Structure 1
Amino acid sequence: MSRTDHICLMAKYNEWMNARLYEAVISLPDEEVVANRNAFFGSILGTLNHLAVGDTIWLKRFATHPANYSELESVRNLLTPASLGQLLYSDVKSLSNYRRSLDQVITEWAHSIKDHDLDQVLHYASTKGVAADKNFFSLVLHFFNHQTHHRGQATTLLSQAGVDIGVTDLLALIPNETVI
């Protein structure tokens, strides 16, 4: 599998898992969704907001890539979140709508990446203003790894609330291949 094919697979996994997560979260009473469960970002809602914040910040950074991805045009116009714990939306329905729009952007952008784009160095500043120059492919891998990390936390929080969302492994989306 090529690097760009793997990125497309990760985008598909991201969209699949987010749809499953939000389907499970929407089934819960609001008090369960906002209950402080002592996670990094407190509640299920806080964790899901953090994922949206992180994705927004990274997509805005990726929009500065020399390839000038047109698929990221809508992200360029978004306000940059003020903090990693910012509550973008205080209700699951609004956050779910935003999540779906982000996932659509991520999927379209992933399919537009060319292999030579991945070898570029991306210059950006951290949320604390620290300048960085890092390999773009490594940053894209971090982007998807960050999502997986926090979705894992969200599934644990859902489990604490009595909800099992079932299979969450990327393995479920990796196609079988014919051995010659």
Structure 2
Amino acid sequence: MSDVLPFRAMAYNNAWANHRLLTACLGLSQDEFTAKRTGFFPSLRATLNHILIIDHFYVDAMEGGTLGPAAWANEEPCATVAALKQAQAAVDRRLLNVVEALDAAGLQRIVSVHRGTSIQRERMDRLLLHLFQHQVHHRGQAHSMLSGTSVSPPQVDEFFSAGEAPLRATEFAELGWTEEQVWGVPVSD
């Protein structure tokens, strides 16, 4: 297994989990999406927008950009689930492009993270792990919030689970992926 493969798998899993969660959220009314809920952020809209803006912040840095704190100038850039789903898919594709371009040396590359008055320098592998942890943390909060709505939360923690081949194939087709693209070899259930 190459050094990069686990990071590629996590990037694909991240994008797939976001796709599943936001597709489920499309079933919410706007009132349910914006309703006050218990969590680190006060609503599904606020929580999911936070994931998006922090992704912009870190992915921009990984791409060599200098966006920095301007990423969170608007704390809720997407007012609707549809807009959020489209914006999240775009930044997920950017993250996949970053990870797809990596080799073992690229994982060790130092990334400059612009934090306003200072620049943090962090290895790419550590920054990726931090970003994936951030995603899982807040996506879990959104998942929990969703359980208090009329929409059932989707399964988001099993990347390749037995018996899900038909659903996986449908979702991968929606995302434009194949199992071979993710793993390099087909996965059998």
Q: The TM-score by the shorter chain falls in which range?
A: 0.7 to 0.9
- Cα deviation for residue 115 of structure 1 reads 1.1
Could you give the per-residue CA deviations for residues 51-99 of structure 1, whole angstroms, max 9, x where no partner exists?
11010000111112xxxxxxxxxx879x93234x711111111111111
Q: 1:177 to 1:124 in 2, by over 3 A?
A: same
CA contact (8 A) 1:37 1:43 kept: yes
Measured in 1, the distance between the counterparts of 2:96 and 2:62 equals 14
Identity across the alignment (%): 25
Q: 1:102 to 1:129 in 2, by over 3 A?
A: same
Partner of 1:97: 86
Q: 1:57 to 1:20 in 2, by over 3 A?
A: same
- Cα deviation for residue 162 of structure 1 reads 4.2
Aligned pairs, how many?
A: 166
**What's the TM-score, normalizing by structure 1?**
0.80
- 2:6 matches 1:10: no
SS in structure 2 at match of 1:3: coil
SS in structure 2 at match of 1:47: helix
Measured in 2, the distance between the counterparts of 1:166 and 1:101 equals 21
Root mean square deviation of aligned Cα: 2.8
- Cα deviation for residue 177 of structure 1 reads 8.6
Q: How does 1:121-160 map to 2 (within 5 A)?
A: 121-126=110-115, 129-160=117-148
Measured in 1, the distance between the counterparts of 2:187 and 2:137 equals 27
Measured in 1, the distance between the counterparts of 2:72 and 2:135 equals 19
Partner of 2:106: 117
**Unaligned ranges ≥5, structure 2:** 162-181
Q: How does 1:81-96 map to 2 (within 5 A)?
A: 81-83=71-73, 86-96=75-85
- Cα deviation for residue 106 of structure 1 reads 1.8
CA contact (8 A) 1:63 1:76 kept: no
**What's the TM-score, normalizing by structure 2?**
0.76
Measured in 2, the distance between the counterparts of 1:12 and 1:151 equals 15
Measured in 2, the distance between the counterparts of 1:165 and 1:172 equals 18
